[in-house]
Amino acid sequence: MDETPERLTTRPSWLITQLAVHARKLVFDGFTAVGARGYHYRILAALHEYGPASQAELGRRCRIDRSDVVAAVNDLVERGFADRAPDPDHGRRNRVTLTQDGARQLRRMDKVLDQVQDDLLEPLSAEDRQTLTRLLTRVLARHEPR
């Protein structure tokens, strides 16, 4: 049996890191099964929630580097999940829009993430999951750039 030093197992930072590695793998595997990537989900979710946006806006909202946004949007456009067209209000900017196929893909990805949450947090009750989410949100908010 692999023994882990107590100095590690009693540190929330170590536990969060270990859980993040596991969560990342579950999400990656789930998204791969539906032909998607994490950046796709972020962008499709932002387009669904906020409507059409420039690539720069998507990068800020989704916390994705500009060059990665371009690559992800290119991929989404190629797959028919998003449209990109010149912004009529700003000649040098493109506007990205969610398509119907993109909305369907987002729903597939939502189902994947729902299953990942269930798998990841299976030992916790619904109330514990809400508490964990609330606490993680509070801690993360403290460390967000202002």
pLDDT in tens, 106-123: 999 999 999 999 999 999
CA-derived radius of gyration, the chain? 18
**In the chain, count of helices (H) and strands (E)?**
7, 3
Amino acid 87: pLDDT: 85
pLDDT band at 145 (very low <50, low <70, confident <90, very high): confident
Helices 12-33 and 38-50, packing angle to 10 deg: 80
CA separation for the pair 127, 10 (Å, rounded):
23
Helices 100-120 and 12-33, packing angle to 10 deg: 140
pLDDT tens for each residue of 31-72:
999 999 999 999 999 999 999 999 999 999 999 998 999 999
What mean pLDDT, rounded, does the chain reach?
94
